[in-house]
Structure 1
Amino acid sequence: MQIGNNELTYINKTSEEPFAVDADGNIRWYSTLYSRHTFVQLSNGHLLIQNRTNGNKGSYNVLSETDYLGRIYRRYRFSDKLGKSSLEQYITVVHHDALELPNHNLLITISGGDKYAEDVIAEIDYKTGKTVKVIDFKKLLPSSMYRNYSSTTTKGGKIDWLHMNSLYYDQKTGNLLVSARNQDITMSINYKSGKINWIYSGKKKSLWPKKYRSKLLTPAKGTTITGGQHDLTLLSSKNGKLKVLLYDNNIDVTNGNAKTSGKYSQAVQYTIDTKKKTIKQTWSYGKSLGKDNFTRVIGSTQRLSNGNTLIDFGYKHDGSQSNIIEVDKNNNQVFNLTISSSKTDRTYVYRAYRVKFTPSNFVFDATK
């Protein structure tokens, strides 16, 4: 099992305090900063946490750069209003994911302030906090997707037609991988140009406007269609072939597989040929666990350095449990942790990470 070498399993809950456990499940670190969704280890060894500054009250509209000892280095505060609606406890401008770009600026998923929610990404200047770039996905995807969508709204009454829940930036190509739960799609865009590279969706090709059809990936036989998926990451890229990993909730939100929806959730690896526009499933784990580990929302997966895979079945039993499992290359379980959670307090595990505690690039200077 890939634990040790100063590595802990970090538990990033949907609400309340994040913590980390060792191989025996003993808590070795925790933060009193109430956090939500975002928990990123930055290149300087610090942490970027989405939190609120008023203890257990108010909305999660602050991104804090902190460290494992709790020192605050920077704070980015965002509006307490979304459009004309006052924000409630769980209604936030910032949501779901953030990453550090090569220039150290922050790329975050946000709600843009109109009648739609969770369909915009913004680049924030690391030093000044100013917004330097915005990409609105209503300008990238067919207008019918948001104009004809009424299935899901936020507590503030905004139309949640896309629900972006993960971002991954490929430094080699400048491409951005995006997961969008409420359309059951994953896609790649070039961050600089904003042009779409490819889209994977269960929606029939004939139902897409013609200009999008050349971007659609064709699945090989036996390749699953994702539904409500989370945490899309790039494992490798060579000669136009990508290996990607994601957590497939397997719920038919809009374009998922209605026949299998709700029967299981799983971590899945795919190989994408970007030239031929094909996609093939090469590995998965979770289907054998059946409905017991089905999670209609949230979840994550991480490929570890020894080839094992860490999987967070975050919303097990409708949010009363979170089950974190590590499997080896042969799908043998080597770590299994179940955490009781509260649906009311939203303490279920949004993502689980295996990372080094106090990484080598972290230096604490008491004089600064």
Structure 2
Amino acid sequence: MGSLLGDEDIQLKQVSGSKQDLGNGLYTLLGNDADDQDFVYMYDTNGVLRGEIPIIGYRSHRMLMQNKILYMSVSTHRMAAINHLGMIEHIYNLGNYIVHHDYQFDQDGNLILLATNEEKNSVEDCIIKLDVDSEEVSELLDLEDLFKSYKESTDHKEGSKWDWMHINTLQYLSDDSVILSSRETSSIIKINDVSTNPSIDYIIGNEDFWKDTDYTKYLYTKEGDFLTSGGQHTVTYMEDDALESGQYYLYMFDNNFGYSKTRKDYDWTVNDGIQTSITEGTTSYYYQYLVDENEGTYTLVNSFEVPFSAYVSSAQNLGNHIVVDSGIAGLLSIYDTDGNLEQQFSIKKNDRFIYRIYYYDYKGYYFS
């Protein structure tokens, strides 16, 4: 690597297992927050540092690549476009919006982002569009428009951030629908026609949490005996040719943590097995649901225990391997699809957690 700008680990400490062959690619650490300079770090499958990208601040949430250009967030209000030689080709300013947690391309190659509108009294509840050619920023959805009565029922202390939904994951589908993960409600929400006429398609969440609201009619039915996810992160849409039309998988890092700052009336302990303490919790999970839109159901088809993390964290299904970041524990773990631990690294944290880790092949960007 040569000289470094940061003080990150050059060699991650391997605490279990042996090297896994994931093909050409790099473990990309997105968010090891520091008081000073922030970076994106890249490690190979041996846990050796291969790159550091300094950013203005906050964190990058995901690396997106198209036409040999990499798009990433570099501060609360800015996205960068970087060519494959490392040259910054463009900086986009989001104006009065703060990018929050996630973004994806739409069918036209523009960016769809989770955001906070600084002109509002609530946070982390909007979806915006960034036109990468014109630089125009437009608001596609304020979740208050669809969940107004629910928002009004939540607790809010005047002068504090009203974090009533806290969307942490965005999956944009080709039919202009989006799948969202809401940490505050421990729910997965699908919205149709997000760019034109947004409407609620369904909610996957604890029925007990949503009872006595105007939204019970949107709840999908749980098929089987399992605990619905709690505070989940990085919910990811996955198709399978073996499934029927209208069926697909959603996999996630199930933090298995029940807490809602804005719903003090709800007792999470009624969900037997869910963790309710950040410091004393013991178990999070990799979860994979089979969602059937024809029947309006969801079924747990794969799960296994992973190191506990009440907040943040990520899971990435690569087919034969599943990459898991237990953020608060500072552990990068690689499993097979049966949940057998294949390899594990510990990571030095600058502060509280490692936000997310994705394994990118960087094909057509760094690698051929």
Paired residues of 2:32 and 2:350 also in contact (CA < 8 A): no
TM-superposition CA deviations, 1:91-118 (whole Å, max 9, x none): x721111111120111011112211111
Q: Is the 8 A contact 2:41 2:49 kept in 1?
A: yes
Counterpart position of 1:161 = 164
Are residues 103 and 159 of structure 1, via their aligned partners in 2, closer, same or farther at CA, if it must alter by over 3 Å? same
For these two proteins, the number of residue pairs brought into alignment is 325
Q: 1:213 aligns with which of 216, 219, 234?
A: 216
Match of 2:39, SS? coil
* Structure 1 residues 215-245: Cα deviation after superposition (integer angstroms, max 9, x where no partner): 2111122232121111111111641112111
SS at match of 2:62: strand
1:51 partner amino acid: V
* Moved beyond 4 Å, runs of 4+: 361-364
| Native 8 Å contact 1:228 1:256 kept in 2 | no
Q: How does 1:1-40 map to 2 (within 5 A)?
A: 3-15=21-33, 16-34=38-56, 36-40=59-63
CA RMSD of aligned residues (A): 2.5
CA deviation profile, 1:5-55 (whole Å, cap 9, x unmatched) = 321111111531111111221101111224514232222233222224xxx
Structure 1 residue 152 displacement after superposition: 8.4
CA distance in 1, matches of 2:225, 2:42: 37
Map of 2:229 onto structure 1: 226
What TM-score do the two structures reach when normalised by structure 2? Answer: 0.81
Would you say the 8 A contact 2:122–2:164 is kept in 1? Answer: yes
Q: Normalised by the size of structure 1, how large is the TM-score?
A: 0.81
Structure with the larger RCO, 1 or 2 (CA within 8 Å, 6+ apart): 2
Out of 199, 203, 206, the position equivalent to 1:202 is: 206
Q: Distance in 1 between matches of 2:367 and 2:91?
A: 19
Unpaired runs of 5+ in structure 2?
1-18, 261-265, 276-280
For the 8 Å contact 1:272–1:279, the answer to whether it is kept is yes
Aligned position for 1:297: 311
Partner of 1:88: none
* Structure 2: distance between partners of 1:203 and 1:263: 25
Name stretches of at least 5 consecutive residues in structure 1 with no aligned partner.
Answer: 53-59, 82-91, 317-321
Which residue of 2 is the match for residue 55 of structure 1? none
> Within 5 Å, which residues of 2 pair with 1:199-348?
199-204=203-208, 206-209=211-214, 212-236=215-239, 238-254=244-260, 257-258=268-269, 259=272, 260-261=274-275, 262-286=281-305, 293-304=307-318, 306-316=319-329, 322-343=330-351, 348=353
Is 1:193 aligned with 2:197?
Answer: yes
Shift of 1:71: 1.1
CA shift for structure 1 position 68? 5.4
Could you say if the C-alpha distance between residues 138 and 270 of structure 1 is closer, same or farther in structure 2, counting changes exceeding 3 Å? same
Q: Does the C-alpha gap of structure 1 residues 103 and 49 become closer, same or farther in structure 2, counting only changes over 3 Å?
A: same
Instruction: State the Cα distance separating 1:256 from its structure 2 match.
Output: 8.5
- Give percent identity, aligned residues only: 22
Shift of 1:149: 2.2
Matched residue, 2:93: 77
Secondary structure in 2 matching 1:207: coil
Aligned partners of 2:312 and 2:267: how far apart in 1?
A: 16
